[in-house]
């Protein structure tokens, strides 16, 4: 953070350490919480719909954050649950990774999903 990084990638295994480091920099006055973009990823064993919210709450407790900027999911199993997390404002945005075009099209064409739109898709 001393050299300007504000995007801090998150993962389940090092949430406590990352959260502690970010809080130290906030306490020192180097950064403000709203300047930090912290994406998280539910560990694959927590990706079922009934486990997503509790896993997210556990992550927020480890980090001592009130929200995660972006929650990245690896499979479409828990999309509706992720929307519920976004509705509670524990997650600001929902993203996906490791999806192929066919899987992305299936998500975008699924009736009733509100968090993913084709206009927000970018090819990299």
What pLDDT shows up at residue 85?
Answer: 82
Structural domains of the chain ordered from first start: 12-112 (3.20.20.100)
Q: What is the pLDDT of residue 119?
A: 44
Token look-up 């999806």 returns: 99
- Cα separation of the two ends of the chain: 26
Q: Does the pLDDT at position 46 exceed 60?
A: yes
Of 7-11, 38-42, 74-78, 80-84, which gets the smallest average pLDDT?
74-78
38 is catalytic: no
* Nearest in space to 85 (alpha carbons), one of 36, 46, 111: 46
**Burial label, 15 (beta-carbon count in 10 A; 0-12, 13-18, 19+):** buried
Mean per-residue pLDDT for 47-76?
83
Mean pLDDT of the chain: 80
- Who contacts 14 (Cβ-Cβ below 8 Å, separation ≥6)? none
Which residues make Cβ contacts (< 8 Å) with residue 85, sequence separation at least 6?
Answer: 52, 53, 56, 71, 91
- Sign of the torsion angle spanned by Cα atoms 59, 79, 38, 17: positive
Q: Which pLDDT does position 118 carry in this prediction?
A: 43
Answer yes or no: pTM beyond 0.75: no
Q: What percent of the chain has pLDDT over 90?
A: 19
User: What pLDDT, in 10s, does the model give residues 74-124?
Assistant: 666 656 677 778 888 888 888 887 788 888 888 778 777 665 544 445 544
Catalytic residue among 5, 7, 12, 14: 14
């Amino acid at each position: 953070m001393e050299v300007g990084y504000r995007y801090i990638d998150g993962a389940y295994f090092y949430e406590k350490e990352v959260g502690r480091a970010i809080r130290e920099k906030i306490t020192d006055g180097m950064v403000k919480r709203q300047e930090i973009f912290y994406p998280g990823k539910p560990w694959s064993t927590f990706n079922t719909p009934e486990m997503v919210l509790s896993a997210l709450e556990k992550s927020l407790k480890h980090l001592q954050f009130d929200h995660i900027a972006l929650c990245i999911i690896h499979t479409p199993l828990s999309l509706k649950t992720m929307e519920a997390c976004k509705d509670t404002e524990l997650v600001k945005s929902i993203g996906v990774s490791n999806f192929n075009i066919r899987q992305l099209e299936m998500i975008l064409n699924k009736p009733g999903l509100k968090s993913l739109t084709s206009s927000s898709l970018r090819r990299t």
